[in-house]
Amino acid sequence: MAGFRSLARQVRDSRCDLALRRYSLRKCLERFAPYGHRATWDHLCSRAGFDPEDRSPDPARLVAALEELEEARSVWLAYEAEFARRRKKEKHDGLRRPGSVDDWHRLTWGGFGVAWCDDPRVHPRAPLAEVLRRLISALEREPGDHCPVCGGERLTWRYDLAHEPSSGPVCVDCGIVVPRPVLTPQALAAARRERRMLVSA
């Protein structure tokens, strides 16, 4: 199975067939896709200015989409390396973290679905790297009450998500599943109530 870097080389390779280069970019998303495969593809295409269904996009736009993905990936991998280092030290010092942060990391290691968007057309508009920076700073501070990416206040509980965990608080504004560790117990409870209100409405 080709790794992210060799797939990225294929995307840039002007000797390759354009359809293959596009295919290689899609394969990159199997390695790293913060919103999930389909939503991340939709995001990259709209930011780089080509249609998600376009089989032979402008090569410069294809490379621009790759660059956005690569920048986001380097932001995320640096965070994971730091997290692993800190975790190892804490273990060594006999400290224990609250379980939920570790549980969340186990499900998202490598960066797939860290900001899962269940509807592939609803995702944050900011550059992917910027979205991840906002998410990371939220993971590193005390839990809050808002969406860490767009600051939205309306969170609603959703079930049957096509990703683990299969239920969770979703930001009504930008569409991400908000990682539970970044929310206060009160915000989580409010999101669950919001769900009930929608159901009974």
The footprint of Zn ion (CB under 5 A) covers 147, 149-150, 152, 171, 173-174
Closest CA to 71 of 92, 88, 106, 47: 47
Is 57 or 113 the residue whose CB approaches Zn ion more closely?
113
Burial of 134-170, coded b for 16+ CB within 10 Å and e otherwise, reads bbbebbeeebeebbbbbebeebbbbeebebeeeebbb
CB of 123 vs Zn ion, minimal distance in Å: 10
CB of 177 vs Zn ion, minimal distance in Å: 10
Is 64 or 172 the residue whose CB approaches Zn ion more closely?
172
CB of 151 vs Zn ion, minimal distance in Å: 7
Is 69 or 117 the residue whose CB approaches Zn ion more closely?
117
Is 29 or 150 the residue whose CB approaches Zn ion more closely?
150
Give the Cα separation of 107 and 169 in Å (integer). Answer: 16
CB of 24 vs Zn ion, minimal distance in Å: 31
Give the Cα separation of 201 and 199 in Å (integer). Answer: 6
Is 62 or 139 the residue whose CB approaches Zn ion more closely?
139
CB of 176 vs Zn ion, minimal distance in Å: 6
Instruction: Calculate ∠ Cα 178-102-162, nearest 5°.
Output: 45
